[in-house]
Amino acid sequence: MKAISVGKAVKMMRLWPALVNALAVLATVTVVSMGGTQWALLAPLVPLAIILWRQRRTLLRRPRGVGGIGRYLTARFILIAAAGAQLFVSGEFHALEIMACTFTVAALAVEPMVRSANGVAVPYASNFPGHEARNKAAFRYGWIFPLNLVSLLALVFTGLSTHVLVAIAVVLSSVSIVLALFAFVDIARRVQTRRVFQTGLQTRLEELGPVFYVYWNAPPRSAFQVKMWLPYLERLGVPFVLVVRTVPNFRQLAAATEHPVLLRRSLADLDALIVPSARGVFYVNNAMRNNHMVRYASLTHIQLLHGESDKASSATPIIRMYDRDFVAGQAAIDRFEKFGVTMHPDIFRIVGRPQVEDVDAERGPVGELEGVSVLYAPTWLGYQAETNYSSLLAGSAIVQGLLDRGARVVFRPHPYSSRSPELREACREIRQMLESDAAESGREHLYGLLAEREMSVTDCFNASDAMISDVSAVVGDFLHSGKPLAMVTPRTRAEEFVEQFPMARAAYVLEAEGSTLRNLDEVLESLLKTDERRAERLRWATYYLGDIPRENYADRFVQVAREELGIDSDEHANDLVIDHTSD
């Protein structure tokens, strides 16, 4: 049903321009047939109202880049013709009016040219020593479009105050044309700068001497996949470059790091990356385009992934295409056998989860603590129905149970939760519950921008004494704290859930069916009071996160990574210098 609904919606969206254009034609015919009567002014208002309604969100948004107001060109050309016809039949079509119509048409004609040209001037690189990249426009080209729209409005309403509005149309159209000319010059310079950089890219890389690349391709709002690894890749002490395949990914990483970032859009673009210093490539997900980079057999290809969980995606046969799979502990290796995926044992290297080095240990047995804080960290829907482990539909009941027990709640949903209307509404309801309870009880709950953006996952762990989550990577990381946790099973009974997801043996299993919870009171009693599974939880933490001393937990990853890349302990010791003096 969803696929049919989406298809219908897409077809309806495609009909909108045709409808607006058809109404504009009718408006023009009406103007001519009215012969300049007092009602002629009303004819263009129908298509104009539809255009304004369809673009209402864009109108209220600050112009950025080349924006969405520049649509429905045919309809707007016809509206200009209707306005001109109205002036003509009323005997007011003189030099100024002719100039207004001509300039407005010219300004409108330039819009698609600016948009197309801007599409050529894509960003290409950032943070390369000795190069001042031109990844952004020198000014906001988007101002062209509201200027054209206001100019069109002035022409349409010329019957109210002819000379004033016509003069406004002339001035605004002229400014729009001038801005477009400046935009073309700026675009040409950006394209030229990029081409010069591309021509000398291999030489620049040889001078920079990257020992490895971080290759990343992912949907929007996924930069956390790379950012979680950057502090530990930096500890390798050698130069490296981040490589992305799409403009949105480039913008995300360029804003997140001071290390060099390269946009390589085509398959052939990757060839320039093969320089003598390059020894390996790190990957943080199983994106389809990863195989474009894996084909370079001279490099060592290492999969890191971005979390440790029992999800089926953690044990996919796709991992076979890499030379090494860095895993947290023995559990990740056994998971492949559990899912019937045969792997060569030499591919695995146990490195722990360096990201948990700053996760604080428990401050004492949970039953003896006062003012207990509980982190609720649900996951998202996943890409298929069978990978939907989210408990958010029952999230309000879980949070209410915590509030009833006097707990302070830390609410941090998965970043992808906003993609689903149902989960987005569930998150909104929970935030509202926490806001109301904070006002009534004075408990300082952590939620919204604070918990989801300003605080890291580790910050949320450290602000909590226990956690409730789903089948998610945060469970594996939270085990390092030794604190009690619960996992929600959204479809099966606890026994089957534990069999399917062994990590649940370290947790208290909360059974959910849609928005209904079967054993909430029982689970919360164990989670916040008795904690009878504490010893077993600590044993499973070693199984999932490796038998690595806590005091030098992250050192294991650095040691193994340097070994796989063939980096001697003293080699490149002083190479990792980020110099932006010339940027």
Q: What is the separation, in whole angstroms, between the first and last Cα of the chain?
A: 52
538 vs 381, 436, 483, 526, CA distance in Å?
A: 29, 36, 9, 16
Residue 441 to residue 250: CA distance in whole angstroms: 45
**Residue 327 to residue 302: CA distance in whole angstroms:** 11
Residues 108 and 237 in one domain: no
Full residue range of the structural domain in which residue 180 is found: 14-199
Give the CATH number, domain containing residue 393. Answer: 3.40.50.2000
pLDDT score at 386 = 60
Q: Which of 273, 283, 287, 268 is nearest to 322 (CA)?
A: 283
Centre a 10 Å sphere on the Cβ of residue 485 and count the other Cβ atoms it contains: 26
Residue 66 lies in a domain: yes
Please indicate, yes or no, whether residues 384 and 428 belong to a single structural domain of this protein. yes
Q: Is residue 462 in some structural domain? A: yes
Q: Is 369 exposed, middle or buried (0-12, 13-18, 19+ CB in 10 A)?
A: middle
- 331 and 378 co-located in one domain: no
Question: Which among 325, 352, 379 is the end of a domain?
Answer: 352
The CATH number covering residue 289 comes to 3.40.50.11720
Shared-domain flag, residues 410 and 528: yes
Q: Is 145 exposed, middle or buried (0-12, 13-18, 19+ CB in 10 A)?
A: buried
Same domain assignment for residues 142 and 215: no
Shared domain check, 214 and 172: no
Q: What is the pLDDT along the chain (583 residues), one digit of tens a residue?
A: 343 444 444 444 455 555 655 665 565 556 555 555 555 556 566 666 666 665 555 555 555 555 444 456 767 777 787 777 777 767 777 888 889 889 999 998 998 899 889 889 999 999 999 898 999 899 888 888 888 888 888 887 775 556 788 899 999 999 999 999 999 999 999 999 999 999 999 999 999 999 999 999 998 878 889 999 999 999 999 999 999 999 999 999 999 999 999 999 999 999 999 999 999 999 999 999 999 999 999 999 999 998 777 777 778 899 999 999 999 889 889 989 888 899 998 999 999 989 888 899 898 889 889 889 999 999 988 766 666 789 999 999 999 999 999 999 999 999 888 888 889 999 999 999 999 999 999 999 999 999 999 999 999 999 999 999 998 888 988 998 999 999 999 878 888 898 888 888 889 999 988 788 989 999 999 999 999 988 888 888 888 888 888 777 889 999 999 999 999 755 554 444 444 333 3
Q: What is the pTM of this model?
A: 0.73
For residue 576, tell me if it sits in a domain: no
Task: Tell me: do 104 and 192 sit in the same domain.
Answer: yes
Q: How many domains does the chain have?
A: 3
Helix axes 144-156, 95-120, angle to 10 degrees: 150
- Separation of alpha carbons 583 and 575, rounded Å: 19
Residue at 4 is within a domain = no
Here the tokens at position 408 are: 């302070």
Q: Pick from 165, 199, 233: which residue ends a domain?
A: 199
Q: Are residues 370 and 281 in the same domain?
A: no
Q: Examine residue 575 and state whether it is found in any structural domain, yes or no.
A: no
State both tokens at 527. 């989670």
Looking at residue 271, its amino acid is D
Among 297, 323, 352, the domain boundary falls at 352
Identify whether residues 346 and 365 lie together within a single domain.
no
The predicted structure's pLDDT at residue 25: 58
Q: Let me know if residue 571 belongs to a domain.
A: no
The pLDDT value given to residue 580: 37
In a domain, 564, yes or no: no
Same domain membership, residue 389 and residue 468: yes
Distances (CA, A) of 526 to 361, 370, 485, 507, 532: 19, 16, 10, 10, 7
State the Cα–Cα distance between residues 303 and 315, nearest whole angstrom: 12
Nearest to 402 by CA among 424, 436, 435, 372: 372
Shared-domain flag, residues 422 and 505 = yes
151, amino acid identity: S
Residue 235 lies in a domain: yes
Same-domain check for residues 344 and 373:
no
Q: What is the reported pLDDT for 387?
A: 62
- Nearest C-alpha neighbor of 195 from the set 270, 278, 120, 276: 120
